[in-house]
A and B are shown apart, each in its own frame.
Chain A
């Protein structure tokens, strides 16, 4: 366990000294919720108090961004020669994968500390059960997205540039064609079909369900739980397989 903790700290240290990215993420969140969210909610008439809906959407976007960042980080390590070094360490592949997952979880907790607290305060009137369920769902979603990006990392072993282009383009499309920023009922039929395939649709509706949003504008929570859990388990399983089998002997740039 001490080896795992040492490796986690080894990777986290550059991001915390100083924590520019974390502070930036918090500041951007506060500006977006405090100014953009407040003003756009004056224009939105379709749902009551859109600023709460938007704040939850931003928290989900941070989770998604961090999940994809972890996948990209892994690919960068492979190309910069850091991964072969990590693979040469006297720890098993499954422990190495656990390290990557735990580091991602810690980073996610740090990034979400302020945004999630502010969002919960804005919504207010919550029970401990709903808060814990919301946090668990966010972490499950984060792991699922990270696993998805890890699963896509095989492209990067052919072309790092192509991988970044695909992942960034895909990320934007997954967010836009989902219920992160707007409820499912407002999507035009052709977009709703695409949104039904986005894991973020289920993740965001599940989190909003736990936070007490009107269930009539959300998808069935049973479907949402199934999809988010299946995504996390399948993509993490695939990621674990890739780490154990495919990354051996990967060439650094």
Chain B
């Protein structure tokens, strides 16, 4: 019970650090709001289909993704600046520390995405607002999975200076481009080979964007199978990320450095 309290305290500290980073908030908010209120509106005028309705839910998912990925930056900073040495000296297990970071990453991303969702619900009529609330726990698991990807990158790049940001950028661009966040699956099917179309369809970002579009904004009744698919696509990332970060911490404990 005591360990749980410490895990929550570390998670709370990391969570608040995310929202206290002014430049990060400036980037995330300016990107998300301008994507939603400028890019989506202008593209709608250049297309024959309603791109605004298509893209606004996707901006929520993009916000969730970007905020989750920041977990990696915080882990990388903790490793680089020695904060992790202090955290390892706390009366908490290594697994507990890993869980604290993933929880904080998931929670920060969920709070940020929820605020975007609130704005999205103002600019785009929702079919079923309650569906948005029901989707939140699944988005939280997805955010933890994405934070796991970021943790893996931080573990890999911990000894390579600022390469972490380069890796993060490549992963972000690849995952967003190979998803249905920006374009419908039928456009993807026309353009990409079948194996890549499968990757695009199984991408957790595609699933989350589809869930928001269908259940929250179009008002279609929620299908439990689809929610299970989101969990199935997200949990492996969270596990791999947790193992990678755990491995990095164990190495640090044994060798004293990475």
Contacts and interface: CB of A to CB of B under 8 A. Distances in A.
Interface of B is mostly: helix
B187 to A, nearest CB: 5
A122 interface: no
B177 A32 contact: yes
B42 A36 contact: no
Contacts of B43: 44, 182
Instruction: Please indicate which of the listed interface residues A47, A177, A182 has the most CB atoms of chain B within 10 Å of its own CB.
Output: A182
Given A28-B169, A42-B190, A42-B191, A187 B42 contact: yes
Contact of B27 (A38, A46, A168, A176): A168
Contacts, number: 95
Interface in B23-70: 23, 25-27, 29-31, 34-35, 38-39, 41-43, 45-49, 51
Nearest to B176: A36
Q: Contact size class for B?
A: 35 or more
Given A20-B163, A43-B51, A177 B38 contact: yes
Given A28-B170, A168-B30, A177-B38, A45 B22 contact: no
Contacts of A223: none
Contacts of B173: 28, 31-32
A129 interface: no
Contacts of A186: 42, 45-46
Interface in B153-194: 163, 166, 169-170, 173-174, 177-178, 182-183, 187-188, 190-192
B42 A182 contact: yes
Nearest to B51: A43
Interface string A160-191: 01101110110011001100011000111001
Contacts of B178: 35
B191 A172 contact: no
Contacts of A165: 22-23, 25-26
Contact of A39 (B29, B38, B47, B188): B188
A45 B48 contact: yes
A169 B30 CA distance: 6
A176 B47 contact: no
Contacts of B41: 188, 191
Contacts of A193: none
Nearest to B183: A39
Given A28-B169, A40-B183, A166 B26 contact: yes
A21 interface: yes
Contacts of B183: 39-40, 42-43
B47 to A, nearest CB: 5
B197 to A, nearest CB: 12
A3 interface: no
A172 B177 CA distance: 20
Interface of A: 20-21, 24, 27-28, 31-32, 35-36, 38-40, 42-47, 50, 161-162, 164-166, 168-169, 172-173, 176-177, 181-182, 186-188, 191
9 contacts: A42-B190, A50-B46, A164-B26, A165-B22, A166-B26, A168-B30, A169-B29, A172-B31, A176-B39
List of 7 A-B pairs having minimum Cβ-Cβ separation, nearest first: A46-B46, A164-B23, A165-B26, A169-B26, A176-B34, A172-B30, A169-B30
Given A24-B166, A188-B45, 16 more contacts: A24-B169, A28-B169, A28-B173, A38-B191, A39-B183, A42-B183, A44-B43, A47-B46, A164-B22, A165-B23, A165-B25, A169-B27, A172-B30, A176-B34, A176-B38, A191-B42
